[in-house]
A and B are shown apart, each in its own frame.
Chain A
Amino acid sequence: MKSRIPVVLLACGSFNPITNMHLRLFEVARDHLHQTGRYQVIGGIISPVNDNYGKKDLVAARHRVAMARLALQTSDWIQVDPWESEQVQWTETVKVLRHHHSELLRSLPWKEGLDQGKVDSPAPAAVPELKLLCGADVLKTFQTPNLWKDTHIQEIVEKFGLVCVDRAGHDPKGYILGSPILRRYQDNIHLAREPVQNEISATYIRRALGQGQSVKYLLPDAVIAYIKEHDLYASPGEE
């Protein structure tokens, strides 16, 4: 039996705040990769963006990291990594991938049975692959002029790989076919279907909180408690 390639999923983003939908991305991506029979997902990393990214309404990184940590308390395979948020300036996604990949290699060899999943996994002989996990909306942003460097897009899909989870109103296959770089490396872009339409955008969450409305069951209770305790998102921000 051919042994599966071990994979770690890395999600970059604002996580402002983290929601159940973000957490679902990991679960859906893992299921999808396992389904192919070729991969064994051994870990997940959430990397909240640096404050210097300059996005509107972005609360301090220390809060976003703390909330992600609380959200992941009950997860046995996903962790938050504050490295990106602790850098002096904003770091391009490809550099975050490079950093985490070298960290991965540095921590080899892996312990046997690291992932106590249903699949019987012997200690991986293969080098673990680090793949960028994102929603279909992020895939679309590759088209936005000047947002991504072409060389970076290429490195991401060529050297690392992408796992892209469906999102309503988006056509990931179309985005891939419409971009020469993505087309060339489409074998390294995995499109995962989320069977449950789950449009819990953090933008909506912030708005609801600003209006004093309940967000219970859209994000973990521990995150909601943290938000209340630190009075985050209390006033309606501007969109």
Chain B
Amino acid sequence: MENSEKTEVVLLACGSFNPITNMHLRLFELAKDYMNGTGKYEVIKGIISPVGDAYKKKGLISAHHRVIMAELATKNSKWLEVDTWESLQQDWIETATVLRHHQEKLEASSCDQQQDSLVLERPGRKRKWAEQRQDFSQKKSLEQTKTKGVPKVKLLCGADLLESFGVPNLWKGEDIAKIVGDYGLICITRAGNDAQKFIYESDVLWKHQNNIHLVNEWITNDISSTKIRRALRRGQSIRYLVPDLVQEYIEKHSLYNSESEERNVGVILAPLQRKTAEADT
């Protein structure tokens, strides 16, 4: 087993993806190169998890479309996929919960895989005593690998998400601790110094700094979804900023206009609403 020392990693990106852009996709590529480059990790999968409509962000169009666009964008990718679990929930789901969902899913399927490999070994051969003893120790080491070898989910994000930890009432303190403590963060940023400063100034982030990977993005690739939507409202081209299939889908369904941008205006963002509700109880 060549890669037994490496930790397998699954990158999870949560967000509006309203719409998905080439920049979102680049985050995955940069993160994968970086993590694999450390020699300690092997990135085996990337998951895009579009947020549910209940998030109530201004201009957020239906999850149905956002999921399809993400699927079109990752059609030709061997390792990126879209997961709809979060988007299908009635209520808005905290990111820490989404991370836990995916980690548990990985643990469950890893368990099944190990069972299968045990069963498939040595089909119907007459065993000698020595081999039987070997069998036991092998089973034991497999069990050890079972707990050690489960891929780890890590949250992939840009610097904006990292710094949003500082926005009052947006995140629960315990969730931030869970995200960086139990899972880990891979943050793609242009302004590495600012991000490092932010980590330094936060006790909880500082404590888990080894679990926060800052990856430098040398190319300024400022393809924000907000700018995409603005360009579309103004009849400007978004070609080469989003995958062709996404651009065609947007055009075909006339997805973004001044009307769509007014959705959820005056509505409080779900996490802020929840925090207020909790404070009241």
Instruction: Kindly supply a per-residue 1/0 record for chain B positions 91-126, scoring 1 wherever the CB is within 8 Å of any chain A CB and 0 otherwise.
Output: 000000000000000000000000000000000000
- Interface status of B2 (Cβ within 8 A of chain A): no
Given the contacts A195-B227, A195-B230, A213 and B33 also touching, CB distance less than 8 Å: yes
Q: What 0/1 readout, one digit per residue, does chain A (71-103) give for beta carbons within 8 Å of chain B?
A: 000110000000000000000000000000000
User: In the complex, which residue of chain B has the Cβ closest to the Cβ of A215?
Assistant: B29
Nearest-neighbour CB distance to chain B for A24, whole angstroms, equals: 5
A228 and B29 CA atoms in complex are apart in Å by: 17
Contact residues of B with A, CB < 8 Å? 22-23, 25-26, 29-30, 32-33, 76, 218-224, 227, 230-231, 235-237, 239-241, 243-244
Closest residue of B by beta carbon distance from A205: B219
Interface centre among B227, B230, B235, B237 (most CB of A within 10 A): B237
A235 within 8 A of B: no
User: Which residue in chain B gives the minimum CB-CB distance to A20?
Assistant: B240
A221/B76 contact (C-beta < 8 A), A28-B237, A199-B219 known:
yes
Assess whether B22 is in contact with A20, with CB atoms less than 8 Å apart. yes
List residues of chain A with CB within 8 A of the CB of B243: 217
Contacts A196-B222, A200-B221; A216 near B25 (Cβ below 8 A) = yes
B243 to chain A, nearest CB (A): 8
CB distance from A122 to the nearest CB of B (A): 21
Which residues of chain B come closer than 8 Å to A28, judged between CB atoms?
A: 237
- Taking Cβ atoms with an 8 Å cutoff, the residues of A that contact B are 20-21, 23-24, 27-28, 30-31, 74-75, 118, 168, 195-201, 204, 213-218, 221
Across-interface contacts of A31 in B (CB, < 8 A): 235-237
Are A197 and B240 CB-contacts (below 8 A) given A214-B32, A217-B22, A221-B76? no
Shortest Cβ gap from A193 to chain B (Å): 10
Query: How far apart sit A8 and B224, CA to CA, in the bound complex (Å)?
Result: 30
Distance A21 CA – B221 CA, assembled complex (angstroms)? 10
Q: Which residues of A contact B25 (CB under 8 A)?
A: 216-217
A196 and B29 contacting across the interface, CB-CB below 8 Å: no
Tell me whether A24 and B222 are in contact in the complex, defined as CB-CB below 8 angstroms, given that A118-B235, A216-B25, A218-B26 are known contacts.
no
Asked whether, in the complex, the Cβ of B240 is within 8 Å of the Cβ of A24, the reply is yes
Instruction: State how many angstroms separate the Cβ of A70 from the closest Cβ of chain B.
Output: 13
Closest to B80 in A: A216
- A–B complex contacts, Cβ < 8 Å, 19 sampled: A23-B239, A24-B241, A27-B239, A30-B237, A31-B235, A74-B244, A75-B239, A197-B221, A197-B222, A198-B222, A198-B241, A200-B221, A204-B218, A213-B33, A214-B29, A214-B32, A216-B29, A217-B22, A218-B221
Q: Tell me whether B219 and A217 are in contact (CB under 8 A).
A: no
Q: Which residue of B lies closest to A168 (CB)?
A: B220
Nearest Cβ on chain B to A233's Cβ, whole angstroms:
16
Measured CB to CB, the closest approach of chain A to B23, in angstroms, equals 8
What CA separation (Å) do A28 and B76 show in the bound complex?
A: 27
Of all chain A residues, which has the CB nearest B231? A195
Please report the C-alpha to C-alpha distance between residue A215 and residue B219 in the assembled complex, in whole angstroms: 11
Query: For residue B221, which residue of chain A has the nearest CB?
Result: A198
Contact A197 B220 (CB under 8 A): yes
A217-B231 CB under 8 A given contacts A197-B222, A198-B222: no
Q: Return the chain B residue nearest A71 by Cβ.
A: B240
Cα–Cα, bound, A4→B131 (Å): 86
**Closest CB pairs A-B (n = 10):** A27-B237, A197-B222, A214-B29, A199-B220, A20-B240, A217-B22, A217-B25, A23-B240, A31-B236, A213-B33
Closest CB in chain B relative to A117 CB, distance in Å: 10
Residue numbers in B under 8 Å from A118 (CB-CB) = 235
**In the docked arrangement, what's the CA distance between A30 and B236, Å?**
9
